[in-house]
Amino acid sequence: MLALKLCEAFRQASMKVDVTFDSAIFSVEAVKKACYRFLDRFTSDIELCDSKIVCHLNFDDKFTGSSCDAQVEGFKKEVLDQDLRLTLKAETEQIRNLILAHAFSKTGLIADE
């Protein structure tokens, strides 16, 4: 019984935080990539509500109030970074493929079209 109560107390102690992003500014892909990076710290339920991307973050038990705040700040920065990476990818993907094709054009690793 005591063990059950302790277990319940721990369950209640695990932190839950909602973080919202504007879908006109950030893509779902950027948010998902950021969530993957933080998988060792929290799991995330992502949902689209109107023009908002809402992330329900469920922190591991080891995180408490202040450490959660720091993680949320880090998460927001990571979303920004992921957004920037997508911008970079969109601009450079074509030349990246050309460079790789050029680099390996005589290796036989690229099948003839």
Where do contacts with another protein occur on this chain (CB under 8 A)?
Answer: 81, 84-85, 87-88, 91-93, 95-96, 98-100, 102-104, 107-109
Q: Which amino acid is at 77?
A: K
List for the chain the helix, strand, coil content (%; round to 5): 55, 20, 25
Q: Minimum distance between the CB of residue 51 and another protein, rounded to whole angstroms?
A: 23
Q: Minimum distance between the CB of residue 11 and another protein, rounded to whole angstroms?
A: 33
Q: Which is nearer to another protein, 15 or 72 (CB)?
A: 72
Instruction: Give Cβ neighbours of residue 13 (< 8 Å, ≥ 6 apart).
Output: 61, 64
Q: Which is nearer to another protein, 1 or 109 (CB)?
A: 109
Q: Which amino acid is at 83?
A: D
Q: Minimum distance between the CB of residue 57 and another protein, rounded to whole angstroms?
A: 20
Q: Minimum distance between the CB of residue 88 and another protein, rounded to whole angstroms?
A: 5
Q: Which is nearer to another protein, 3 or 108 (CB)?
A: 108
Query: Alpha-carbon distance 29 to 26, whole Å?
Result: 8
CB 75 within 8 A of CB 34: yes
